[in-house]
């Protein structure tokens, strides 16, 4: 896509208020969960995975009230 560009560090802490995605590719599930916990806005985080136990862990850990 000609309008796509590489996300910068600031993009992961920005609320765009638009149809913009900041995508990060990670090496493993722990890196993904730690990254999302650090940069969460508590409403639009997404984890794409085939492993349903990982998806459950994502939902359980990120919906806890103590984050």
Q: pLDDT tens digits for 27-46?
A: 988 898 888 888 877 777 77
- 36 burial (CB, 10 Å; 0-12 / 13-18 / 19+) is buried
The answer to whether residue 3 is domain-embedded is no
The answer to whether residue 4 is domain-embedded is no
The single-letter DSSP state of residue 65 is T
Residue entry with tokens 């409403």: 43
The answer to whether residue 41 is domain-embedded is yes
Domain extent, residue 45, equals 9-62
**pTM score over 0.75:** no
- Helices 29-39 and 52-62 cross at an angle (nearest 10°) of 20
Instruction: Determine the average pLDDT of the residues in 17-26.
Output: 83
The answer to whether residue 67 is domain-embedded is no
* Count of structural domains, the chain: 1
Structure tokens at 51: 């492993």
The answer to whether residue 1 is domain-embedded is no
Distance CA 61, CA 53 (A): 12
């Amino acid at each position: 896509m000609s309008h796509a560009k590489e996300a910068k560090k600031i993009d992961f802490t920005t609320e765009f208020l638009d149809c913009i995605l900041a995508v990060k590719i990670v090496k493993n599930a722990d890196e993904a969960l730690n990254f999302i916990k650090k940069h969460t806005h508590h409403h639009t985080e997404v984890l794409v995975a085939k492993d349903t136990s990982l998806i459950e862990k994502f939902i359980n850990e990120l919906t806890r009230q103590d984050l």
